[in-house]
Copies of this chain bind each other. A is one copy, B any other.
Amino acid sequence: MNKENKPLIFITNDDGYNSKGISVLIKLMKQLGDVVVVAPKTEMSGKSHSITVNSPLRLKPIEHSEGFELYALDGTPVDCVKMAFNRILKTRKCDLVVSGINHGSNASINTIYSGTMAAVFEGCAERVPSVGFSLDTPDKNADFSYCEKYIISICKDILANSLAEGICLNVNFPLGQIKGTKVCHQAKAYWNEELVEYKDPMFQPFYWLSGVYNCLDNSPEADFRALEQGYASIVPMQVDFTAYSELNKMRERFENVEER
């Protein structure tokens, strides 16, 4: 096998290196290139773009069948990307970062909490074409088979045509049969949080975070709505969070305020 002629694909997730979703992704990506996996040792859902700066990280090579490199890291998904780029891939150029397949939707406002998508943003900031895949169910034994042909198509396209610098993709699949793909925007929504109160055995209160999803967006091009209708949603996203449409208005309001 001539490694130089095959694309190098880096895989991570936030559900952990031994989740079903990542094993499906590894199987698919081995069809397209050389695969290196660094994924969290334990579940890291909801860790967003957090990085581990106040404690050490341990990297463990995992023995497995063959045909790709697999490591577990006791850190976050973004730590995994950084570890891979700095210590494992080193000078070898990475052609594609793929994250997932997440057990649970990362459409809409979920993007911002997602460790899976954070790894995608990190790859994108490092100027590597990056894509995240998620399936709209938390079921640990979910059936990912309907997603497979879409994942192959999308990754083949990115390997052939790349993505613009600073742009990455957030792809979400509905459960079961898929009607097709829709390019969407991130649905406007928020989680109406609920901190459930308990009492410990010493009668002291503690809380557990829960919430109810509120979609404020009825556009058929909102990713959440496309999923509801049985389509896979594909949202191009950017690591530049600037609201460019607001710049001029903001200049009038906020530049040189102290001189007024």
> Chain B residues with Cβ under 8 A from A189's Cβ?
125
- Contacts A125-B109, A234-B250 hold; do A87 and B150 have CB atoms under 8 A apart? no
Contact A125 B150 (CB under 8 A): no
* Sample of 4 further A-B pairs with CB below 8 A, known A57-B206, A109-B239, A181-B255: A153-B257, A183-B251, A185-B240, A238-B246
- Kindly state the interface size class of chain A when it binds its partner: 35 or more
Q: Interface on A for B, CB 8 Å cutoff?
A: 43, 45-54, 56-59, 76, 78-79, 82-83, 85-87, 109, 111-113, 118, 121, 125-127, 149-150, 153-154, 157, 161, 164, 166-167, 169-170, 180-183, 185-186, 188-191, 193-195, 197-198, 204-209, 211, 234-244, 246-247, 250-251, 253-259
Copies in the complex: 2
Please, how many angstroms separate the alpha-carbon atoms of A208 and B74 in the complex?
A: 12
Contact A195 B255 (CB under 8 A): no
A-B contact pairs, 11 of them (CB 8 A): A49-B112, A50-B50, A56-B198, A57-B207, A82-B195, A87-B195, A157-B254, A167-B246, A169-B250, A188-B240, A235-B241
